[in-house]
């Protein structure tokens, strides 16, 4: 592993380069060819005069001058994003206020599109679009997508005239009363940061956005220019803090009432769109934690395992002791686990991708139990359980090749292989993060008769012909999957379980093993159906130029045609 620190990592795949990129706050970025070894990169800005613009000169003049609306092109005007966010002065520095970019390839534009938050201190923020012909830049400012915090004071620099509000609503003689909230803006309306841009299954481009305060919202985008779709209409629905739709801000899909929640990220996996929201504060003791909802529609409604909507209708605390338990708790702070030297905590502001290789990867930044505010990026593979809920692998990704299709169609674990002593850990809601509370493993045994004994008692079973597993512990059933993993940071192997209960609580378990299960042998080399090609050992050394002769190698695990094979 080669580690990297990128806060708020958003992942994107570059097909031609067969390379993964992550982009994060304050211009942090990195790339990797295997999701394990990361290299930091520099991503420059461009403007009209240079391809290496300073931050303070990159967001003042947008390149786009007109946009389509009502069947014709209308003047877009110029929007100085820096001036808007720095309106209050008070030592404002753009260098620390470029937050949480999301990058996507726009096929129609033939451009890489970066959606970037330019943060202001009093909700006076904007999400802007920058584009580049190269994924590594330089990126040039095209225009804003949405503003927040207008007219929270008498400061002309944050007047609604400085935003695109009138392009959406038409000319206004005064600011509509529903937006005139002054210093209480955050109780009613979103903070325009943390964009997530994605195509739905019909090819429509969307952006979710927002943080704490007024909730998570959704806008349709125009895939011809990457900006807001100015022909998309959103009716006024709801009032005050229970507004659910607004002509300017779009459709609310989560949060509200100043309940915590930021960093929305949406990905279509299997049959659903999955919405991630990170609750709590990002600090080591802040209670940062990812929660998951799903919907059959890109713009919701999004509900959790219990059927509870992601939108709040009153204020509640949703992290820490005695908190609201809304959203699947995919995992949280945990201590000693496997051979890890330090436990993770405050994991969040993630991205997730259903990759071209048939697997799904969860990418997030994490702090550590003993590491202060230092943070690093981690990647875990994610699986769907039988009920279509996401289950994160208990250990970070180290090149495993199992897919959801494999889980649903292959039975690779015999009962004899599964039974034994396990470390078992439940990711409970309500941890006291101020005291750095965390989940810790206990000892259980999976017995051959299908019972569970040890610290917890219960039952376990695996569905025939699959790797779907149900593990019940003290009357709580966790539905999940059984997979092979590597015990980070070693090369030791383990059979691992990840599952989720019907209340949204996740449980992990693992048993260290010395041999792979017989079921992973899907080719017996030396037979006539073997393919030709090189054979590598697990250290990447070529041990044979002809896989047809692999049967002559010593018994063990090898890499053949990019997959692990067991030679007997």
- Write the pLDDT tens digit of every residue in 497-529: 999 999 999 999 999 999 888 754 333 333 333
What beta strand segments (E) does 71-228 contain? 72-75, 98-106, 111-118, 126-132, 139-147, 196-199, 205-209, 216-220
Q: How far apart are CA 238 and CA 248, in angstroms?
A: 14
Angle at the Cα of 191 from the Cα atoms of 185 and 193, rounded to 5 degrees: 165
Query: Phi first, then psi: what are they for 333, rounded to 5°?
Result: -65, 135
Say whether the peptide bond before residue 338 is cis (omega within 30 degrees of 0).
no
pLDDT, position 452:
98
pLDDT, position 18:
86
pLDDT, position 524:
31
Q: Hey, is 405 helix, strand or coil?
A: helix
Beta bridge partners of 40: 30
Does the pTM surpass 0.85? The reply is: yes
What are the C-alpha distances in Å from 66 to residues 58, 207, 222?
Answer: 20, 20, 13
Q: Pick out the chain residues at pLDDT < 70.
A: 519-532, 538-541, 545, 548-549, 562-564, 568
Q: Tell which residue, 382, 488, 354, 498, has the closest CA to residue 3.
A: 488
Contact 192, 127 (CB under 8 A): yes
Report DSSP letters for 502-545, one per residue. TTSBEEEEEEEESS--GGG----BTBTTPPPS-EE-TTS-EEES
Contact 366, 337 (CB under 8 A): no
Q: Tell which residue, 259, 264, 255, has the closest CA to residue 350.
A: 264
> H or E stretch including 425?
strand 420-427
pLDDT, position 142:
98
Q: Tell which residue, 451, 447, 359, 347, has the closest CA to residue 403.
A: 359
Beta bridge partners of 311: 255
pLDDT, position 528:
31
Task: Please tell me what DSSP assigns to residue 240.
Answer: G
Contacts of 46 (CB under 8 A, 6+ apart): 52, 53, 58, 132, 137, 138, 139, 140
Beta bridge partners of 468: 481
Q: Tell which residue, 67, 86, 83, has the closest CA to residue 75.
A: 67
Q: How far apart are CA 140 and CA 44, in angstroms?
A: 9
Contact 25, 98 (CB under 8 A): yes
For the record, the structure tokens of 149 come out as 């915090």
Q: Tell which residue, 221, 246, 233, has the closest CA to residue 109.
A: 221
For 239-243, which contacts have Cβ atoms below 8 Å and span 24 or more sequence positions? 239/178, 240/188, 241/187, 241/188, 241/214, 242/313, 243/178, 243/188
For the record, the structure tokens of 429 come out as 């809601």
Say whether the peptide bond before residue 301 is cis (omega within 30 degrees of 0).
yes
pLDDT, position 539:
56
Over the stretch 557-568, which tens digit does the pLDDT of each residue have? 777 876 667 775
């Amino acid at each position: 592993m080669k580690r990297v620190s990128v806060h708020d990592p958003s992942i994107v795949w570059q097909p031609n380069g067969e390379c993964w990129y992550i982009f994060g706050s304050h211009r942090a970025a990195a790339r990797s060819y295997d999701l394990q070894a990361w290299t930091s990169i520099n991503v420059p800005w461009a403007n009209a005069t240079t391809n290496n613009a300073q931050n303070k000169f990159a967001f003042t003049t947008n390149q786009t001058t007109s946009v389509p609306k009502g069947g014709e092109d209308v003047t877009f005007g110029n929007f100085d994003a820096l001036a808007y966010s720095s309106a209050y002065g008070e030592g404002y520095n753009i260098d620390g206020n470029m937050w949480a970019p999301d990058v996507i390839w726009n096929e129609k534009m033939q451009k890489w599109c970066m959606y970037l938050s330019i943060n202001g201190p009093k909700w006076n923020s904007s999400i802007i679009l920058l584009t580049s012909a190269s994924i590594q830049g330089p990126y040039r400012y095209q225009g804003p997508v949405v503003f927040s915090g207008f007219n929270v004071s008498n400061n002309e620099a944050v007047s609604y005239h400085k935003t695109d509000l009138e392009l959406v609503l038409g000319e206004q003689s005064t600011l509509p009363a529903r937006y005139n909230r002054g210093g209480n803006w955050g109780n009613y309306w979103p903070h325009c940061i943390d964009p997530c841009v994605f195509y739905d299954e019909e090819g429509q481009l969307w952006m979710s956005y927002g943080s704490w305060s007024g909730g998570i919202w959704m806008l349709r985008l125009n895939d011809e220019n990457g900006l807001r779709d100015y022909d998309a209409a959103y009716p006024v629905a709801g009032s005050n803090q229970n507004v659910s739709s607004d002509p300017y801000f779009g459709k609310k899909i989560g949060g509200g009432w100043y309940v915590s929640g930021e960093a929305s990220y949406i990905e279509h996996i299997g049959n659903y769109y999955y919405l991630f929201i990170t609750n709590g504060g990002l600090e080591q003791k802040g209670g940062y934690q990812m929660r998951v909802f799903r919907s059959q529609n890109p713009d919701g409604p999004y509900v959790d395992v219990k059927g509870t909507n992601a939108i709040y209708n009153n204020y509640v605390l949703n992290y820490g002791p005695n908190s609201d338990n809304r959203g699947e708790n995919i995992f949280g702070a945990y201590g000693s686990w496997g051979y890890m030297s330090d436990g993770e905590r405050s994991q969040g502001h993630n991205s997730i991708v259903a990759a071209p290789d048939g697997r799904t990867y969860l990418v997030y930044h994490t702090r550590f139990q003993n590491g202060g505010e230092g943070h690093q990026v981690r990647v875990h593979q994610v699986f769907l359980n039988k009920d279509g809920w996401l289950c994160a692998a208990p250990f970070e990704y180290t090149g495993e090749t199992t897919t959801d299709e494999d889980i649903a169609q292959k039975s690779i674990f015999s009962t004899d292989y599964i039974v034994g002593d396990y470390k078992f850990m439940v990711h409970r809601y309500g941890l006291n993060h101020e005291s750095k509370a965390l989940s810790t493993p206990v000892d259980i045994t999976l017995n051959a008769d299908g019972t569970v004994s040890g610290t917890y008692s219960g039952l376990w079973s695996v569905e025939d012909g699959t790797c779907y597993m149900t593990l019940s512990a003290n009357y709580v059933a966790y539905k999940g999957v059984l997979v092979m993993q590597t015990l980070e940071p070693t090369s030791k192997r383990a059979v691992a379980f990840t599952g989720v209960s019907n209340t949204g609580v996740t449980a992990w378990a693992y048993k260290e093993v010395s041999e792979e299960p017989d079921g992973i042998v899907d080719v017996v080399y030396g037979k006539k159906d073997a393919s030709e090609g090189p054979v590598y050992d697990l250290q990447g050394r070529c041990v044979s130029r002809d896989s047809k002769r692999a049967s002559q190698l010593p018994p063990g695990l090898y890499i053949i045609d990019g997959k692990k094979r067991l030679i007997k």
